[in-house]
Structure 1
Amino acid sequence: MMDQLLQAYDDQLREGAEVGGATAVVRIGPLWLAQFPGERGFITYRSLPDDAQEIAGLADAALKHFRERTGATAVEWKTRAHDAAPGLEAVLTGHGFVADGPESIMIGRVEGLAADVALPHGIEVRRAATVDDVWAASEMQGLVFDDPHWRSRAEDAVRKLEEKSAASLWIAVADGAVVSAGRLEPVDGTDFAGIWGGATLPEWRHRGIYRVLTARRAEEALRLGKTLIHSDSTGFSRPILERSGLVAVSTTTPFVWTR
C-alpha cells in the first residue's frame, strides 16, 4: 500500500502540479524553476541525473537564473529522501543552500480524515470568508512558524479568496480571535488535495482543535471529488494524521538559498 501511495505522489504531485499559482515558470533540463509572489523562488523536478557533477551544473544554472533574471530574495530547492540523487546535499550546501528541518510526506484516503469530531467548547471552525479573516489567520500562522514572508502569503490567499478559487483557508476562532488555521489546496487533474499551513497557537494546543480543522478540510475535499490527501507534516501534525489513517511514505527537506 505504501509503495502505491508513493508512486501516486511521484506520478501526480511533482513538477507541474507543484508550481500552480507561480507568476513565472522556466525549465532547465529536469528542473522546474518557479517564481511565486513575495519574491520567493522554488525548484523542483521528477528525477535528477545519476552524477554529482551534472547535478552541480544544474544548480549553477538555476542560481544564475534566479540571481540575474528574477528579484527572488529566497529560493527553495525541494528534496525528497527517496530520490536517487548522488551528492545532492553536498552540491546544495556548496552553492549556499541551507537545509531546513525535514518533514514527513503523509498520504492517505480522504475518508479517514473526514470523521465526525466533537468541536471543543467555545470554538468555531469555518472557512475564512473575508479579507479580515485571511489576514488574521495569516498573521497567526506567521507567528507560529516564525515566517518572515507571511504577508506575501496572505496577499496570495486574499487573491484566491477574491477569485473564488477552489483552494480555501479554514480557521478556528475563539472569543473573536483566530487560534488555529490551515489551507486546503485541491490539485487540478489529480486525485489529491493538499492540507497545508496547519498552525495552532501554543496555548490552544492539545484540545482537539486541529483535528476538527483537519476533518472540515477533508469534508470539503470529498465534496470536490478528491480521494487522497497529502501533506508535508511536522512532528506536531504527524501524529494527528497518522491516527486518521495517513502514512509517511517518505520525507522532504527544503534547502533554502538567500540572496
Structure 2
Amino acid sequence: MDHAAVLALFDRDMREGARPDAPGARVERAGKVVRQTGAEHGWNGVVWSDLDETTADAAIADQIRHFTGLRREFEWKLYGHDKPEDLGSRLRAAGFTAEPEETVMVAELGDLALDAEPPEGVRLLPVTDRAGVDLVAEVHEQAFGTDGTRLRHQLLAQLTGEADTVVAVVALAGDVPVSAARMELLPGTRFAGLWGGGTVEAWRGRGIYRALVAHRARVAADRGYRYVQVDASGQSRPVLARLGFQPLTTTTPYVYAL
C-alpha cells in the first residue's frame, strides 16, 4: 500500500469531503475547518482542518462559539499529521479534554482474508429494526462501560432514514448478545468505515471480533468499496494487523463539554 497516497485519499474522501453520518446532520466548511453539526443525539465535531500557527487559535474559538451557541458538546478529531504540530496543546488550552489516542488502520479489500467465521455456538444477526438496535446498544454498554443512548438514537435514525449507508450486526450466543459492530458506507467515497466493534469481556479471545470484521468487509467488497478503515484501540490493533490492516496515522478525540 502506498502510505502517502492512501493518506491523501483518506483526507480528501473522509475528512475534507466528509458527508453527514446520519439524517438531520449537516456538514459544512467554515473557513479552513470542516465540521458536522448533528441532531440532538447525533455526533457533533470537527473532522478536518488546514491551519497554521497564525490561524489555529481563532479557528478553535470560532468552533467553540458555534457549538456552544447550539448547546452542543462537540469533538475535534485531531489526526497525527494535522498542523500546526502543537494543535493538541492549543485545544487543551482552550478547554478541550483529550481522550485516548487511537490508530487509524486501513486495508485494501483485495488484500484481506475474508473467510473468518464466528466460533461454534455463535451466530451473526443483521440488525434491521429497533429490537436489533437495542441489542447493539446493550453490547456497547457492557463492552465499553459507557452509555449507549447516543448510539441507540443514531443507529435507529440511520436504519430508518438512510438504511443503505449503514450495516450493523450483532453476535448471539444462543439468544444472548455477546458482540456487535457497525459499518458506515457513504456514497461517493472509497472507504467503508468500521465502527463500534466490541465484545463483552467473557467472550473475548474467541475470534468473534475477527469474524465481525470479515463479515463487514465482505459486504463492503460486494458494494464496490476499495478500502476499509478502523479507528483502532490498542486491544483491536493486533487482530486487525493479523487480518492485513496497516497503520495510516493516529487520531485523538478532543472533547469540549458544556
After TM superposition, the score normalised by the length of structure 2 is 0.92
Q: Which residue of 2 aligns with 1:131?
A: 130
Structure 1: 5+ residue stretches without partners: none
Moved more, 172-181 or 18-27: 18-27
Structure 1 CA distance for aligned equivalents of residues 174 and 83 of structure 2: 50
Answering whether residue 74 of structure 2 is matched by residue 71 of structure 1, we say: no
Task: Report the counterpart of residue 45 of structure 1 in structure 2.
Answer: 48
The answer for the alignment partner of 1:31 in structure 2 is: 33
Q: Structure 1: which amino acid aligns with 2:31?
A: G
Partners of 1:64 and 1:34 in 2: CA distance: 14
Shift of 1:119: 2.8
Deviation at 1:109, TM superposition (A): 1.1
Distance between the aligned counterparts of 1:165 and 1:118, measured in 2?
24
Q: Deviations over 1:105-139 (max 9, x none)?
A: 10111234452124301100131133111111112
Superposition deviation, residue 237 in structure 1: 1.4
1:110 aligns with 2:112: no
CA distance in 1, matches of 2:212, 2:108: 17
Q: Counterpart of 1:17 in 2: which secondary structure? A: coil
Q: Normalising by the residue count of structure 1, what TM-score does the alignment of the two structures yield?
A: 0.91
What amino acid is the match of 1:156?
Q
Following TM superposition, by how much is the alpha carbon of 1:180 offset from its aligned partner in structure 2, in angstroms? 0.6
Measured against aligned partners, the alpha-carbon deviations of 1:149-204 in whole angstroms (never above 9, x if no partner) come to x2122122112222333311011111212111111111211211111100000110
Q: Deviations over 1:73-110 (max 9, x none)?
A: x2100101112314312211111100010000101112
- For residue 119 of structure 1, what is the amino acid of its counterpart? P
Is the CA contact 1:136–1:178 (under 8 Å) kept in the aligned structure 2? Answer: yes
- Give the match for residue 199 of structure 2: 200
User: What corresponds to 1:159 in structure 2?
Assistant: 157
Aligned length: 254
List alignment gaps of at least 5 residues for structure 2: none
1:112–1:244 contact (8 Å) kept in structure 2: no
- State the Cα deviation string for residues 41-78 of structure 1 (Å, max 9, x = none): 21122421x21x4211111111011112x121x21001
Rounded to whole Å, the distance in 1 between the matches of 2:38 and 2:218 is 28
Structure 2 matches for 1:223-238, cutoff 5 A? 223-238=222-237
Instruction: Give, in whole Å, the separation in 2 of the partners of 1:40 and 1:129.
Output: 21
Q: Deviations over 1:189-244 (max 9, x none)?
A: 12111111000001100000111111110111011111111111001211111111
Partners in 2 of 1:16 and 1:135 — Cα distance?
Answer: 31
Alpha-carbon RMSD: 1.8
Instruction: Tell me how far apart the structure 1 counterparts of residues 178 and 110 of structure 2 sit (CA, whole Å).
Output: 26
What SS class does the counterpart of residue 222 from structure 1 fall into?
helix
